Amino acid sequence: MQDLIRRYGAGLTAIICLLVFFWLAILVVVPNITLFESSFRPYLPVTEIGGPKDVYSLDNYLKVFSGQVEVSPLGFTFLIPVHVLTFFLTIWYSVVVTFLCFLIAYPMAYYMAKVAKPSSVPTLLLLIFVPLWVSEVLRAFAWWIILAFKGPLNSLLLALGLIDAPVRWITGYDAVVIGLIYTYVLFMLFPVYNAVSSLDTNQIEAAEDLGAPWWKIHWRIVLPHAKPGVASGSVMVFMLSAGSLLVPSILGSTTSQWFTQTINQWFNDALDWNTASAYAFILLFLCTVFVALAMWAFKVKLSDIAK
Amino acid sequence: MSAGIDLENVCCDFGSFRAVDNANVSIRPGEFFSFLGPSGCGKTTILRMISGFIDPTQGAIRIGGKDMKGQRPNQRPTALIFQNLALFPLMPIWENISFGLEVRGVDKATRRAKAEELLRLVDLPGAADKMVSQLSGGQKQRVAIARALAVEPQVMLLDEPLSALDLKLRQHMRAELRAIQKRTGVTFIYITHDQGEALAMSDRVGVMSHGRIQQIADPREIYNNPVNGFVASFVGENNIFTGDVGQVADGIASFATPHGTFRARLGEQATGKGVKLFVRPEHTIISAAQPAENAIHGRVEEVSFEGNFIAVHAVTDTGMKMTAELRNDGSSDVPEVGAQVWMGFAAARAAILPDAETRG
């Protein structure tokens, strides 16, 4: 603080601090606290707000358990509350997206950090960045067109003779997963790229010199070194995927439902902000718990990610 | 097991820059061979070509008589010790050492035993479970040696591995490295820019400059009988006279300089123009009386005490600076600053050499 004042003067420092405070308090903390508080109150007509029925309860949270649906994964048939099912599917497909993002980003990151000529890396980065200049909505719609039943992807594959009949891509969660990977893969790429770049190339050469085949070099030397980067990329991709509304809304099929869509339905269709808030906090809380468990399982420390 | 290495007309180009130019050398099995030269002379490139990280543009590299063309580093019987050691910081010491065995599918118990054995060999018992960051510079050095020895290489390649250590430790590790080499009998190829290191440890030294090997010989020969001015200057200090070669008899030539005409050994490659006379400071005599041969008169400018020797800097009457080194054992009188003195040198101890290095 002393340092800030000395460097920028008291006036500018005060303005900076006030702006940061406004950002954090007014735009983040207060709305969240408001929603959190309202998530414990029933959805009431305006006239009854503040009346005898307006009491705190967990009713909104318990609504996730209402409405059973029958599922039969792996031959077992059982009943599960529909919103709980949506939640688990959201988590599961977010994990799939995260894993696939890693599979795509790791070779790219390794290539850029250790194989490509340093002079060509800025060009590669630019090529990767250019699609980001297009709005997320447009990119999702672009994928919707690409993946359409009579769209370019099917035409291409048919023309190449790789498939005999058009594939229905936008079915189940397939298109959602593809769209989410496209949208969030860079959040995996950059942390992994940074982590791999910081690895001393001599270590890779030393491993090779000692006789290690390429996969062993990656498994024992590069991946362990890049683990913090992979972890921070995974947390970002997972959280962003689980919290994405746009991509599942546009690329979702009749048989897909993302938990954020359920939240959105409570907000915008049912206009029940109280239940919607409760659902939003369920998602936030359980995702955080899930990430914490995953970090514990993979022996990643919070300080590793912050690097 | 150790293998010899043959480099036959090996060249290496980086774009239009020729890093190694027509290197020919036969390194014998079990030999301690050093490549000595200033930075950028191509010695590291030679090492990386032998280990397989760089392919030669031309020429052949044979290890144990077998052509190494197309062999990746992980297929060659060499082990490289990197300048920065490149230990694996995320593995404990024993896993570092046994990494080469791990990739060969050796089971864990055998690996562990082998690591312990090697740690005893490099005088570092009990460090097996430590992490790299817990070791000192010298200890890391030993771990790097153990890690390279673990794969039982026929050739060990060392890329200035001592340059990061302090002087005392460096001198200690020199002896240590030499001892390990003798014990294991592995061929060592050592890269350094430190002439003291190369001379003290090696069976033979190859002095390099600008991608060319200037001279290959044993350390005494390199120091006492350099082939050209570059080698003479790189492996030691000299008083250098410019002049012209006169009459030659029994390998001793007369050499006319502005400071007088001297007699000195004529180097093999000293033909034609651009030759100079090189005299080592410790071969330069300084006394009040006029020496019998190659006498130059001058005045003492500065006397600096260096511990094991005393350097006397003088200026000749003709204005040339000369240095003489006297042993600090009381055997010679140290002249005072400002004293009028005679300097000289034995003809057999001075050499007339081509000034420039050998170029392509």
Partner-chain contact A225 B72, CB within 8 Å: no
**Does the pLDDT value for residue B3 go beyond 60?**
yes
**Does the pLDDT value for residue A258 go beyond 80?**
yes
Return the closest-CA partner of residue B208 out of B14, B23, B2. B23
pLDDT at position A208: 93
Q: Write the residue in B53, B74, B87 that is nearest to A213 by C-beta.
A: B74
- Spatial CB neighbours of B347, under 8 Å, sequence gap ≥ 6: B252, B262, B263, B264, B265, B293, B294
**Does the pLDDT value for residue B360 go beyond 60?**
no
DSSP conformation letters of B243-303: -EEEEEETTEEEEEETTEEEEEEEPTT--SSSEEEEE-GGG-EEESSPPSSS-EEEEEEEE
Partner-chain contact B86 A216, CB within 8 Å: no
pLDDT in tens, B63-111: 999 999 989 998 999 999 998 999 999 999 999 999 999 999 999 999 9
Domain boundaries, chain B: 5-229, 232-354
Most confident range, picked from A42-46, A55-59, A199-203:
A199-203
- In which residue are the tokens 């002249």 written? B335
Q: Mean pLDDT in chain A? A: 90
Q: List CB contacts (< 8 A) between B51 and chain A.
A: 209
Mean pLDDT for the stretch of residues B124-145: 91
Using CA coordinates, name the residue in chain A closest to B81: A206
Confidence band for B357, pLDDT divided at 50, 70 and 90: low
SS3 A93: helix
Mean pLDDT for the stretch of residues A140-159: 91
**Does the pLDDT value for residue A294 go beyond 60?**
yes
Mean pLDDT for the stretch of residues B225-254: 88
Q: Write the residue in B82, B102, B147 that is nearest to A202 by C-beta.
A: B82
- In which residue are the tokens 């007699």 written? B263
Euclidean distance between CA atoms B32 and B204, whole angstroms? 7
**Does the pLDDT value for residue A172 go beyond 90?**
no
Name the DSSP class of A30. H
Domain boundaries, chain A: 58-306
pLDDT at position B359: 59
The helix-helix angle for A136-146 and A174-197 (nearest 10°) equals 120
Lowest average pLDDT, out of A19-23, A73-77, A109-113, B271-275, goes to: B271-275
Flag whether residue A207 sits within 8 Å of chain B, measured between CB atoms. Answer: yes
**Does the pLDDT value for residue B354 go beyond 70?**
yes
Q: What percent of chain B has pLDDT over 90?
A: 56
Structural Rg of chain A based on CA atoms: 24
Partner-chain contact B80 A206, CB within 8 Å: yes
Lowest average pLDDT, out of A53-62, A273-282, B139-148, goes to: A53-62
CATH class belonging to A58-306: mainly alpha
Partner-chain contact A202 B151, CB within 8 Å: no
Residue A7 CA from chain centroid, whole number? 38
The third-level CATH classification (topology) of the domain covering B232-354 is OB fold (Dihydrolipoamide Acetyltransferase, E2P) (2.40.50)
Residue B160, number of CB atoms within 10 A of its CB? 20
- ipTM score assigned to the predicted complex: 0.82
**Does the pLDDT value for residue B273 go beyond 80?**
no
Mean pLDDT for the stretch of residues B177-191: 91
pLDDT at position B221: 92
φ, ψ (nearest 5 deg) of residue B41: -85, -5
Confidence band for B219, pLDDT divided at 50, 70 and 90: very high
Confidence band for A47, pLDDT divided at 50, 70 and 90: confident
Helices (H) and strands (E) in chain A, counts: 15, 2
**Does the pLDDT value for residue B17 go beyond 70?**
yes
**Chains A & B: contacts with CB separation below 8 Å:** 61
Q: Mean pLDDT in chain B? A: 90
Q: What percent of chain A has pLDDT over 90?
A: 64
pLDDT in tens, A52-111: 888 888 888 998 898 888 887 787 888 889 899 999 999 999 999 999 999 999 999 999
A121-156 burial: b if 16+ Cβ within 10 Å, else e: eeeeeeebeeeeeeeeeebbeebbebbbeebebbee
Using CA coordinates, name the residue in chain A closest to B146: A210
DSSP conformation letters of B101-147: HHTTT--HHHHHHHHHHHHHHTT-TT-TTSBGGGS-HHHHHHHHHHH
Confidence band for A306, pLDDT divided at 50, 70 and 90: low
CATH class belonging to B5-229: alpha beta
Lowest average pLDDT, out of A202-216, B215-229, B268-282, goes to: B268-282
Euclidean distance between CA atoms A28 and A270, whole angstroms? 25
Confidence band for B358, pLDDT divided at 50, 70 and 90: low
* Chain B residues 120-159 within an 8 A CB cutoff of chain A: 147-148, 150-151
Mean pLDDT for the stretch of residues A247-275: 91
Which has more confidence, B355 or B34? Answer: B34
Euclidean distance between CA atoms A289 and B303, whole angstroms? 76
Residue A204, number of CB atoms within 10 A of its CB? 21
pLDDT at position A194: 93
**Does the pLDDT value for residue A170 go beyond 90?**
no
Q: List CB contacts (< 8 A) between A205 and chain B.
A: 53, 73, 80, 82, 86
Return the closest-CA partner of residue B95 out of B116, B67, B74. B116
Partner-chain contact B80 A205, CB within 8 Å: yes
Q: List CB contacts (< 8 A) between A211 and chain B.
A: 74-75, 100, 103-104, 151
Flag whether residue A225 sits within 8 Å of chain B, measured between CB atoms. Answer: yes
B101/chain A closest Cα distance in angstroms: 8
Return the closest-CA partner of residue A153 out of A162, A247, A138, A181. A162
φ, ψ (nearest 5 deg) of residue B160: 40, 55
**Does the pLDDT value for residue A279 go beyond 70?**
yes
Residue B15, number of CB atoms within 10 A of its CB? 6
Mean pLDDT for the stretch of residues A47-56: 82
Beta strands (DSSP E) in B165-243 are 187-192, 204-209, 212-217, 239-242
Mean pLDDT for the stretch of residues B48-59: 93
pLDDT at position A64: 86
Lowest average pLDDT, out of B102-111, B140-149, B325-334, goes to: B325-334
**In this structure, what token pair is assigned to residue A106?**
């790791």
Partner-chain contact B82 A224, CB within 8 Å: no
pLDDT at position A181: 95
Using CA coordinates, name the residue in chain A closest to B52: A209
Q: List CB contacts (< 8 A) between A206 and chain B.
A: 80, 82, 86-88
pLDDT at position A235: 93
B238-258 burial: b if 16+ Cβ within 10 Å, else e: bbbbebebeeeeeebbbbebe
SS3 A2: helix
**Does the pLDDT value for residue B195 go beyond 80?**
yes
Flag whether residue B84 sits within 8 Å of chain A, measured between CB atoms. Answer: yes
